[in-house]
């Protein structure tokens, strides 16, 4: 085979291998994460994960609960999170997020709440 053929066939081969993997089935069944939710996840990773556990972490003193748990509590809707992000909540560290960052975090929480249902 020529190297030219291999270069042109490589993206197709990668796609075929990915599609045949067991992870592809799980990923295909999950709702895709919109761009705003992806940006919100990045804000959460940068600022909030310093003090909040991840979903599969063992509980540790002084750490906040995983967001996967928080978003599934009763009354935790977009309005609740928008209001929550407006105010300081001690002992939480006070981060001053821009309005668009708050909107993106809410979009991430909204997306996160729909997962694993």
User: Which residue numbers in the chain have pLDDT < 70?
Assistant: 1-31, 116-117
Rounded Cα gap, residues 101 and 35, in angstroms:
12
What CATH number does residue 44 fall under? 2.60.40.420
SS3 content of the chain, % helix, strand, coil (to 5): 60, 0, 40
Give the total number of structural domains in the chain.
2
Determine the structural domain holding residue 23 and report its residue range: 1-30
pLDDT of 3 reads 47
Same domain, yes or no, for 8 and 47? no
Rounded Cα gap, residues 59 and 80, in angstroms:
25
Taking the model in full, what pTM does it have? 0.68
CB-neighbour burial class of residue 42 (10 A; exposed 0-12, middle 13-18, buried 19+):
middle
Same domain, yes or no, for 93 and 103? yes
């Amino acid at each position: 085979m020529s190297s030219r053929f291999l270069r042109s066939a490589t993206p197709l081969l990668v796609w075929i291998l990915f599609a045949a993997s067991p992870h592809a089935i799980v990923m295909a069944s999950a709702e895709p994460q919109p761009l705003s939710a992806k940006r919100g996840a990045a804000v959460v990773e940068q600022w909030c994960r310093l003090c909040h556990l991840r979903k599969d972490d063992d509980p540790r003193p002084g750490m906040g609960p995983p967001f996967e748990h928080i978003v599934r509590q009763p009354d935790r809707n977009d309005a609740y999170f928008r209001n929550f992000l407006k105010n300081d909540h001690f002992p939480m560290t006070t981060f001053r997020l821009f309005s668009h960052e708050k909107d993106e975090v809410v979009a991430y929480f909204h997306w996160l709440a729909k997962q694993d249902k």
